[in-house]
Amino acid sequence: QAGLTQLPSVSKGLRQTATLTCSGNNFNIDNQGVSWLQQRQGHPPKLLSYRNDNRPSGISERFSASRSGNTASLTITGLQPEDEADYYCATWDNSLRGWVFGGGTKLTVV
Q: Min. distance of Cβ 39 from another protein in angstroms?
A: 8
CB distance 94 to 32 below 8 Å: yes
CB distance 107 to 87 below 8 Å: yes
Strand 46-49 vs strand 35-39: parallel, antiparallel, or unpaired?
Answer: antiparallel
Count Cβ atoms below 10 Å from residue 100 Cβ, excluding itself: 21
Q: Min. distance of Cβ 43 from another protein in angstroms?
A: 8
Q: Is 109 in the site for another protein (CB under 8 A)?
A: no
Tell which positions 42-101 bind another protein, by CB under 8 A: 44-47, 49-51, 54, 56, 88, 90-92, 96-101
Catalog residues that contact another protein under the rule CB under 8 A: 1, 32-33, 35, 37, 44-47, 49-51, 54, 56, 88, 90-92, 96-104
